[in-house]
Structure 1
Amino acid sequence: MSPRKREPEESEESEVQISPGDLAARHHPRRTSKHRAPRSKAEPRRPRAVSRRQAQGQAQRELPFEGAFKLTSVLSPDIFTRKITRIGGVLIILGFIIGGMLVTYYFFSGSRFFRLRDVIVEGNVLMSDDEIKGIVSSVAERSVMRADLSEIRRLILNTELIREAEVTRMLPDMIRVEVKEREPIALARRGDGKIVCVDRDGSMFGGQSLFKTRPYPPIINGLLESGPTAVNVNRQRLLTYQQLIGELDAGHPKLSNRIDEVIFDDIRGVRVVLEGSGIAVFLGKEDYRRRLNSALDA
């Protein structure tokens, strides 16, 4: 192709015109801080809908007397009513439960299953088993469950031979009685002339046959049988009696077998009745052996 023929083509290309809009569309200049597009402002968020209860709660939190309002809400009549209703319901349920238990107890306690079959007695020597069993049966014959153990114990202690008593149930049909009897340490003459036993507390009980020691020791005369001071007075006189017997038997020969009775009827001291003669000798409060020897030598 010759150079002459290319010239017309170049002239045609040069004659093509480009519009300003196309030029702007083709030209994309680099954006700088001056040419940046402005940021779109975010739309403000719409406030959430607040319920009436939340609004009241916010209002209360903003009040200066928040504690007072809380106390008022706690003490509101509605809360009191609910609490009283709950308490009443609980009490009614407890009442039904207790009532049912009582009915069940009385039903079963009166059945033959709990009828008294035997009484176990322990610790008795002076008082027979039959005597104690008779006392228990008089109270607990129909039902061991319904038996009044305090009443049984009181009746047993009313017998003069028993010092302590313990009564227990042995379900379903037995009762156990453990006793501690009075231990006779001397003989005493009562106001009616009867000879009885005396324990360490100065209490008189039983008869002369309960005293197993032979020969019999001198009889005590002058113990109090009743009154608010009887226990203390009798204990003191019993100590004096033991001191007297111990001193009379301290040497040789023993002199306690030379007297029949020790009498406490004088505030100045004791008197003794000589064996076989019925003569009373005043020994005072001390030096008993020497004074008795003097009376025997006279």
Structure 2
Amino acid sequence: MSPRARVAQHGALRAPDESFSLESADYEDPGEEEKAPQGAGSGGPWRKLLAALRLGLGLALVVGTSVSVAYSVRHYALTSPRFSVREVHLIGGKRVAPQQAQDQAGVILGGNVFALDTAVAEKKLLENPWISEARVTRDLPRTLRIEIKEREPAALSVFNERLYLVTADGEPFKALSPGDPADFPLITGASVDGMSRDRARELDRVRVGLEVLEQYGRVPLSKTQPAQEVHLADSGDVTLTAGKEGITFELGKDGYRRKLLMGEQVVAEMRRKGRSPGIVFLDNQAHPERVVVRMR
């Protein structure tokens, strides 16, 4: 049989089997696309840097514009005649005149309302001993308001032979000067040396004198015999002198209200008898109900 006939009889001859050993390192999957290195396709850090630069430039532009606008506004506010001071209103001034307050605050009419440092102006006002509180505000566009609270004197006190105005709290705040009100009772016995040694104690003594004046002011006798002087002894005893005749009430250390009412009764009794008392002793601690009168 010829070879062709054998082929026809047995079908096509198969090629012999072949075996392959594929190393993983040499194998490439033709269906898988090659992966690009991370960040290479998106621009990586360069694109982020560019975005940051753009943001920074944008912020710089905004800040620069804001600063420029703020400078322009400030320049306009400080130079425009629209904000020149035309009026100064003083509120709360009794003894401090408007012009005096204006000068002490450093206010210049026609000056710029924003150029005035209000905090500095308030400090300058507080240098005036009459002024206890001060506030300076702007009422745009052309007005300044000065609000002050003044100290109110309640008595005069002597310190090293100088007269001082004293508040109701016992604080000596101003040496008496020409033009100052002087129609106040006098408190004596306190001293500058006492202030330097123990200021709180000395002020307490002055307050005792003020308390006596307050209590006496509630007694009807004070209307006809006004208080003239309260003396504070080192021992703590208090002496009140009242009226043009100078009636003296020795009050001791406490119970001033009760003693003053007793003194009023004694003076009234003496007057009914046509007599004029000189000194009324109300300081008997052993027998506080007893009153001794020394006639003139």
What residue is the counterpart of 2:140 in the other structure?
171
What runs of 5+ residues in structure 1 fail to find an aligned partner?
1-45, 58-73
* Counterpart code for 2:207: L
How far did residue 294 of structure 1 move?
A: 1.5
Contact 2:94 2:150 in 1 (8 A): yes
Task: Tell me how far apart the structure 2 counterparts of residues 183 and 99 of structure 1 sit (CA, whole Å).
Answer: 51
Which runs of structure 2 are paired with 1:192-231 in the superposition (5 Å)?
192-194=161-163, 196-200=165-169, 202-205=171-174, 211=181, 216=183, 218-222=185-189, 230=199
Is 1:245 equivalent to 2:213 in the alignment?
A: yes
Aligned partner (choices 62, 67, 74) of residue 105 of structure 1: 74
More moved, 285-294 vs 97-106: 285-294
Task: Tell me how far apart the structure 1 counterparts of residues 224 and 247 of structure 2 sit (CA, whole Å).
Answer: 15
* Counterpart code for 2:154: I
Please identify which structure carries the higher strand content: 2
Task: Tell me how far apart the structure 2 counterparts of residues 145 and 274 of structure 1 sit (CA, whole Å).
Answer: 55
* Counterpart code for 2:84: R
* Counterpart code for 1:160: P
* Counterpart code for 1:125: K
What runs of 5+ residues in structure 2 fail to find an aligned partner?
1-29, 264-278, 283-291
What residue is the counterpart of 1:188 in the other structure?
157
Task: Tell me how far apart the structure 1 counterparts of residues 54 and 104 of structure 2 sit (CA, whole Å).
Answer: 52
Contact 1:272 1:283 in 2 (8 A): yes
What residue is the counterpart of 2:230 in the other structure?
262
What residue is the counterpart of 2:268 in the other structure?
none
How far did residue 111 of structure 1 move?
A: 2.7
What do you get for the CA RMSD once the two structures are aligned? 4.6
Identity of aligned residues (%): 19
Greater Rg over alpha carbons, structure: 1
* Counterpart code for 2:186: I
What residue is the counterpart of 2:293 in the other structure?
297
Deviations 1:264-291 (A, max 9, x none): 4515344455767889986442244379
Deviations 1:14-44 (A, max 9, x none): xxxxxxxxxxxxxxxxxxxxxxxxxxxxxxx
TM-score, normalised to structure 1, is 0.58
| 3-state SS of paired residue (1:52) | coil
Contact 1:248 1:255 in 2 (8 A): no
Task: Tell me how far apart the structure 2 counterparts of residues 92 and 297 of structure 1 sit (CA, whole Å).
Answer: 93
Task: Tell me how far apart the structure 1 counterparts of residues 250 and 91 of structure 2 sit (CA, whole Å).
Answer: 45
TM-score, normalised to structure 2, is 0.58
More moved, 78-87 vs 142-151: 78-87
How far did residue 77 of structure 1 move?
A: 9.6
Task: Tell me how far apart the structure 2 counterparts of residues 141 and 201 of structure 1 sit (CA, whole Å).
Answer: 42
Deviations 1:199-224 (A, max 9, x none): 43624336696659xxx553112556
